[in-house]
Amino acid sequence: MAIAKQVYKWERIVPVRFTRSTGAVPAGTYVPDPDDRGYARYHGPVLGVCRGDLTRVSVVREQLEDPAPLFVSSEIPARLTITNPAPDPGRLPNGHIVDIEFRASSTDGDVKVRIHAQQLNGPIVGELTVHISQVLTILCAVHRTAIYALPSTRAAANTTARSFTDIDNLMTGVSRQWRPAGIQFTIDIRKNDTNLTNQVARNGINPTDGALLCPVYGSGEDNENFTRLMATNRQARRLNIHFVRQIRTASADGSPFYIGFGSSAERGLVVSDTADDLETQAHTLAHELGHILNLAGLQHTVDNDAHSDDDPQWNEIVTRRRHDLWTRRRLMYYMVGLSAADRTGPGGRYAFDGQDVGHGAGRSGHMITIKNLTNDHTDNEYTDARNRQATLFTP
């Protein structure tokens, strides 16, 4: 029986699509999130990998039956080798969602992974661009920081509870999330003697042991205590990351409590202890590092389109925030860290943002954008981050 389908102007038919693999992954295999925003210029998603990486991605039979015969090939086998399914004959198993794996060579550049119908040299019904990069390393000095007022001394109650083992695990998770941009954060200095002892009061609120005292969110006031922390035991030509017991604001009860924040100008950031699991905190830390690498600066492209965590409700400079551009799937999704009541439910400003995008309830995504789309002034984060890495420690 014929199927009648009304189309207004035009419609793009997508027989198959590519998505991040969500199953258990063995050590040494990467599962980046494809940048699948906009097909007009790219004819499919773009995936970032590093030289030599073994990568897994899922293929979805979007508008095909699950047994439809599909085959996978590499545009340039010398640059990218299909490892699963076996290249001869390269047939995908049956199923709605199936995984493929491939290994990148040591040559930078783009290469296509193609899905063919019926046979290995059959018509192409899906295409994934794989962008291969050399890894760029950012050296980090991590600080187990104590915060107190003299004549008190360093103690467990005023020092971060995160051990160096915890921090190593966090940074491993961070580097995994930044892998599609070809950036790795490597700890080569560990400081267990960093103490902030000279905080200043603010708005009549005195500092408390263990807590960094910051302005109330949205006040626009200078954050002197953060600046003092960044100057404490600073390690030259390193990204200085301070782990502290707590970050509170100069309000009667100390709320809202920050999870963390960073400064590209200071080449550093601060992260508070949290009851969240390491994976959740690794996401927060990866997000803050996005600020360091200029993915959220007011001068990114256009002031009014700035991708900072500020919302028009709090920052009058940012007047035209686009909810449809800063999606929950992106690492730099804004308003991360506000209370659930502020994000969802009756009275919440962003009811959509409680959705699970595949990394667990309450977590946003890991996607770092690679495409450079005409109408998105905050994309091409891959290039922005790598450019900032090159100048991070220059004047």
- Residue 198 makes CB contacts below 8 A (sequence gap 6+) with 228
369: left (phi over 0), alpha (psi -120 to 50) or beta: beta
**Residue, of 54 and 329, whose pLDDT is higher:** 54
pLDDT in tens, 151-162: 999 999 999 999
What distances in angstroms separate CA 349 from CA 46, 279, 338, 346, one per listed residue?
A: 32, 26, 11, 9
| pLDDT for 295 | 77
| pLDDT for 300 | 44
The mean per-residue pLDDT over the stretch 136-149 comes to 97
Q: How far apart are CA 378 and CA 353, in angstroms?
A: 19
Residue 240 belongs to what H/E stretch? Answer: strand 239-244
- Are the C-beta atoms of residues 388 and 263 closer than 8 Å to each other? no
pLDDT in tens, 114-123: 999 999 999 9
Nearest to 56 by CA among 10, 22, 86: 22
Confidence of residue 222 (pLDDT cuts 50, 70, 90): confident
* DSSP labels, 73-106: EESSTTTEEEEES-TTT-BPPSSSEEEEEEEE-S
Q: What is the DSSP letter of 314?
A: T
Answering whether pTM is above 0.85, one says yes
Q: How far apart are CA 277 and CA 270, in angstroms?
A: 18
| pLDDT for 316 | 53
| pLDDT for 41 | 77
Cα–Cα–Cα angle for 140, 380, 299, rounded to 5 degrees = 75
Nearest to 368 by CA among 126, 82, 49: 49
Partners of residue 136 on adjacent β-strands: 183
The mean per-residue pLDDT over the stretch 175-190 comes to 96
Q: What is the DSSP letter of 349?
A: S
Cα-Cα-Cα-Cα torsion 67, 69, 74, 75, nearest 10 degrees, comes to -130
Q: What are phi and psi of 199, to 5 degrees?
A: -65, 160
Q: How far apart are CA 85 and CA 27, in angstroms?
A: 19
Reply yes or no: is the peptide bond before residue 85 cis, omega within 30 of 0. Answer: yes
State the chain's mean pLDDT as an integer: 85
Secondary-structure breakdown of the chain: helix, strand, coil percentages, each rounded to the nearest 5: 15, 30, 55
Q: Which two tokens stand for residue 87?
A: 């290249």
Q: How far apart are CA 250 and CA 203, in angstroms?
A: 6
Nearest to 132 by CA among 184, 183, 180, 185: 180
The mean per-residue pLDDT over the stretch 124-140 comes to 96
Residue 169 belongs to what H/E stretch? Answer: helix 164-178
Confidence of residue 104 (pLDDT cuts 50, 70, 90): very high
| pLDDT for 332 | 81
pLDDT in tens, 223-272: 999 999 999 999 999 999 999 999 999 888 888 778 888 888 899 999 99
Q: Which amino acid is at 128?
A: L
- Domains of the chain in sequence order: 16-133 (2.60.40.10), 136-391 (3.40.390)
| pLDDT for 52 | 97
Q: Which two tokens stand for residue 313?
A: 């409700």
